[in-house]
Amino acid sequence: MSLKRIRESEEMYLETILLLRIKQANVRAVDVGEELGYAKSSVSRGLSLLKKKGYIEIDATNGAITFTQKGKEKAEGIYEKHKVITAVLIKMGAEQKQAEDNACRIEHVISDDLLELFKRYISE
């Protein structure tokens, strides 16, 4: 798997955990799998990698996933990109669903410089 695909997958997991935690107190691997439509084995491997990188912790007794400070900051940064890109696409005339779907793909490759331009564009 290419580094780009690994980073995209990692970011999808982090963003999904963040959004699930907004909706519910305890997030477990099964919740992440259901939300992303991934097999249990894929989720297990993905979460293991996030844990190794120091982004999440998994409670051994109940399986609850929590962010480390590093993981929370990264997840929030990814979600911010998503919101900004979505807002730009909507401002340009895209429908909400189309903007959301495309923002989900663009957020993984956009440069920080371009993101700053997008932020200025939506604040005009």
3-state secondary structure 44-108: HHHHHHHHHCCCEEECCCCCCEEECHHHHHHHHHHHHHHHHHHHHHHHCCCCHHHHHHHHHHHCC
- Structure tokens, 56: 């999440």
Average pLDDT, the chain: 93
Q: How confident is the model at residue 4 (pLDDT cuts 50, 70, 90)?
A: low
Q: At what angle do helices 29-36 and 40-52 cross, to 10 degrees?
A: 120
Average pLDDT over residues 75-104: 96
Give the mean model confidence (pLDDT) for residues 4-21.
89
Give the pLDDT band (50/70/90) at residue 7. confident
Measure Cα distances from 89 to 10, 15, 47, 116 in Å: 24, 20, 31, 15
Residue 89 has pLDDT above 80, yes or no: yes
Q: Are 29 and 90 in contact (CB under 8 A)?
A: no
- Domains assigned to the chain: 3-72 (1.10.10.10), 77-123 (1.10.60)
Q: Tell me, what's the pLDDT at 124?
A: 84
Checking if the pLDDT of 61 tops 80, the result is yes
Tokens of 59: 């409670």
Confidence of residue 8 (pLDDT cuts 50, 70, 90): confident
pLDDT tens digits, residue range 43-56?
999 999 999 999 99
User: 59 vs 7, which has greater pLDDT?
Assistant: 59
The structure's pTM equals 0.89
Question: Can you tell me the mean pLDDT for 21-30?
Answer: 94
Cα→Cα distances 76→1, 9, 33, 40, 112, Å: 25, 16, 20, 25, 15
